[in-house]
Amino acid sequence: MSNTETTYRNETIPGERPPQSQGVRVVNPRSRVPLSLIIDDSTCLVNLAHFCIPQFAEVFPDRYLQDWRSLPREIPDSFVREFGEWCHENGVKGKYSIVPYPACVGWVDREMPGWSKRELEESLDLVRTLMTPDWDIHPEMISHTWVIDTKTGRPYPERTARFMENWDWTAGRSVDEMTDYLSYALQILHNVGMPCDGITTPGGFGNQALPELAQGTLQACRAICKAEVPHYFRHIYTDERSVAPRVEYARGLDGNDPQCVVSIIGCTGDWFGGWDGLEAGSADRFITQEGGSGRLTEVIARGEPAILVCHWPGIYFNGDRVGFDIFKTVVSRLRSHYNNLTWMKLSEISHYWAARELTRIERVDGEVRLHAPFTAPDFTVEMDGVFSSVAISGDGQPQQLRRVAGPLDLSGGTWAQLDGKVVACFDLPRGDCTLRCVNSE
């Protein structure tokens, strides 16, 4: 069920990169380290652990021996509300999957056998109203189990790993085939008012077809959801590798239709409660009580987005909320030990990284000239110098940025002077703009 860690042989390509002056450095938004929580295996009502295990066991009977009948068949909306309200109160943001045809039980845009039509509609409405302000919604393919024939809407009859989404189906698939499959999943969520800027891969989906997965995501999210900067979650790295987002297949940056896709990388394993909600995790693996160690401390020290990964059945933990309680502890420890973090959706991180890498930047004396293919709120740049004022201009009148005491006071439309450097934060418009810095002399 998890996004396995492996070394990939089929690499994606970055695409175009514009020149950027070495005298100007794009830094994290508001000089803060982004945080995000990825929630996998979530959907409306259905507990995927209960329904997926017997289907996995049909192909791998020696590997899936859990007593799935003892697991609850439902993760109730009362828990979705409890979790969503707590996260909103504590500023937590991230990604929440809605599997469109969970374990072939039923369709979220049609019927969910075992629940009434009203219960399904109320569940969908809860996600739309409570979750979407703080969470990106992703399809996690179509069923998370059997591969679906997109011409018939039914699973293929072959019962092997070759026709399971988590395993071998993507090997050898073309970009067009991948686009078709992703589009089918996205369209179902679009039908219920949940447009998506990205997708999540279940298990090993896409491992053997990374270029096709990336390009399929780019095409499908643009076509179905009109996403400006599509993104996908495929990788988890818990070793020394960078977990910074990867901006891929960038092209047309100077034209009217710039394009790219962003690969989001998780930095933790599921150390909350696992994909089946059977084995409790530990907050210490994320960050210890004294804040001196843990995976998140390593990533935050590097200034890279610290993107935690969990599975919904493990957060619920069969009604005992063990995973949820561990997450609350992690959030509390982060708040106690850091004052330079910011929770963001995956789409917000993707948008920022696309602007960070694909904006053309030229410094000429006190001016910084930018050409951006994508907008980015709280775009933050750092440059050497001592100045008395900073202004941003585009098509309209120049806007004076307000000076603040230091980098942690930054918000859109402000700047700070620190140790011979200026840090400016502003909402980056698409197209051309100029940052003008006036010397203090």
Q: What is the pLDDT of residues 68-112, one digit of tens each?
A: 999 999 999 999 999 999 999 999 999 999 999 999 999 999 999
In this structure, is residue 251 part of a structural domain?
yes
Same domain, 250 and 372: no
pLDDT of 440: 60
Same domain, 103 and 185: yes
In this structure, is residue 15 part of a structural domain?
no
Same domain, 321 and 384: no
pLDDT of 179: 98
Same domain, 335 and 370: no
Residue 86, CA distances (Å) to 80, 322, 328 in order: 10, 15, 9
Same domain, 248 and 341: yes
Segment among 71-75, 318-322, 388-392 with least mean pLDDT: 388-392
Strands 399-400 and 402-403 come out as: unpaired
| Confidence grade of residue 438 (pLDDT, cut at 50, 70, 90) | confident
- Domain span at residue 376 reads 360-439
| Confidence grade of residue 9 (pLDDT, cut at 50, 70, 90) | low
| Confidence grade of residue 249 (pLDDT, cut at 50, 70, 90) | very high
CATH code assigned at 402: 2.60.40.1180
Mean pLDDT of 144-163: 97
pLDDT of 441: 55
Same domain, 420 and 315: no
User: What does the block give as tokens for 126?
Assistant: 């809860």
pLDDT of 10: 79
Residue 77, CA distances (Å) to 83, 92, 128, 413 in order: 10, 19, 13, 40
pLDDT at 263 over 70: yes
Segment among 8-17, 179-188, 328-337, 410-419 with least mean pLDDT: 8-17
In this structure, is residue 56 part of a structural domain?
yes
In this structure, is residue 2 part of a structural domain?
no
pLDDT at 252 over 80: yes
Instruction: Give the domain-ending residue among 351, 370, 403.
Output: 351
Cβ atoms of 175 and 215 closer than 8 Å = yes
In this structure, is residue 16 part of a structural domain?
no
Write down the mean pLDDT value for the chain.
95
In this structure, is residue 168 part of a structural domain?
yes
Instruction: Give me the number of domains the chain comprises.
Output: 2
Same domain, 414 and 282: no
Please, which residues have CB within 8 angstroms of residue 61's CB and are 6 or more apart in sequence? Answer: none
